[in-house]
Amino acid sequence: MVKLRKAAEVKFEESEDYKTGSWRKDIPVVIKRDVLDEHPEVALFCPEAVIIYKDGKFSHIDYRYCKGCGICAQHLKDAIVMKKA
């Protein structure tokens, strides 16, 4: 009979526990909120779903999870700029 040993232990956590914003080197800065109000589709492009709208208006970016990929700034070049974090 073969005896099996435990080779590894994996700890599972909620994805909210991983603050992916700590990976960021650049940070998106909103310079024209009214443009975001008119283009809520930008939230759909964000891979982390951290561009937050409330009541149809832009509210904020949740920087705890924003990775600084710059996709939002590419989509709305005149409203969001990337700066060094």
Enumerate binding residues for ligand SF4 (CB under 6 A): 28, 46-48, 50-51, 61, 66-72
CB 42 to ligand SF4: min, Å: 8
Distances 56 to 9, 19, 21, 38, 42 between C-alpha atoms, Å: 44, 26, 25, 9, 13
Task: Pick between residue 29 and residue 34 the one whose CB is nearest to ligand SF4.
Answer: 29
Structure tokens at 39: 């283009």
Find residue 54's DSSP bridge partners. Answer: 57
Task: Pick between residue 24 and residue 38 the one whose CB is nearest to ligand SF4.
Answer: 24
CB 63 to ligand SF4: min, Å: 8
Find residue 57's DSSP bridge partners. Answer: 54
